Structure 1
Amino acid sequence: MIHNYFQLLGIKATFDLDNDLLLANHRKLQQSIHPDRFAASSHAEKLAAVTQMAQINEAFQILKNPVTRAEYLLQLSGWDKPGDEQTIKSLPLLMEQMALREELEEIETADNSQQLLDVFCGNIDQMTQQQLQQLSTEFQQKLSADTIYLSITRLKFLTKLKSEVIRLDEKLEELDD
């Protein structure tokens, strides 16, 4: 019996997973459980195949994303995810978020906005990689769920900020055309 998404996809339950193995195992399971293979089967067997396929796809979507994978690992250890309405309790993280958002706003109106945005984007990418490494270390050292969740929160922020950077980049490119 499969107890969790890591087992379902045949990989070790760790933050630092092998993405190639995850993808390969996902594809293999998709092929073996694909509903088309059950075209001549009973309605119950078809329904079971569709249900299994949905579970496999959900597991893959959660495990391929570092944020949702980290949250899932915490949930497996008995941690209850706080609601979205919970505020960030880390003043340094709040200050960092405000400063980075302010910097992005200033970039948008600057004369050399594209150059500044390129540098800003590189900095966000570097911060994201450092945060991923920190999360990896925190999981390896089995730090508290609160500590790990603060790192997850920062990673979520950086990911969202990167999306905003991409949108601004597209906007600036449209203005140049």
Structure 2
Amino acid sequence: MNRRNSLKKLVMASAGLVALPAWAQGWEASTIELPQLFPIEEQEILTAVADTIIPTGDSVGALSVGVEKFLQRLFADCYEQDVQDNIKVQLNALDASANNEYEQSFVLCDQSQREALLLALTEVEESPESNFFNLVKNETIRGFRTSRKVMMDHLDYVMAPGYYNGCVDVKETETARK
């Protein structure tokens, strides 16, 4: 092993770690760009679908924990082109059926109208419509349940269970002396 090369690599890695906080200063979730798989209209429809599946009520909803951003990133990065194309087609078809049925966009429909439109997609099993609905529903639930706010505040998730309490007085008992 060459010590000079190892030391060079170590110094370069250290310099990178020192520079990272200054370079990443000011990063926020709102400043990170999302992949542009969906145009703005389709993003709004996807947001409305997520809000319909888990609406904001007395507790947190899908939009308050950022599930719409999770879905956009997930569909852009983790699904193949044919699934992405089906999602786009179904989002546009959903908006078209809302225009036909209620004479307004899916985004402008109220909760009960949205629910009726989404449940109509499940009438035929193993169809592109039902596959779309099941995918979006399952991923919305997953995004909601694995969000930091839900995990920490509602599911009482503890990152590293088993606490260490150092410097605690231990009372000597009869069984400990034996």
Shorter chain as denominator, the TM-score bin is under 0.3
TM-score (structure 2 length as normaliser)? 0.25
TM-score (structure 1 length as normaliser)? 0.25
Higher Rg: 2
Higher helix share: 1
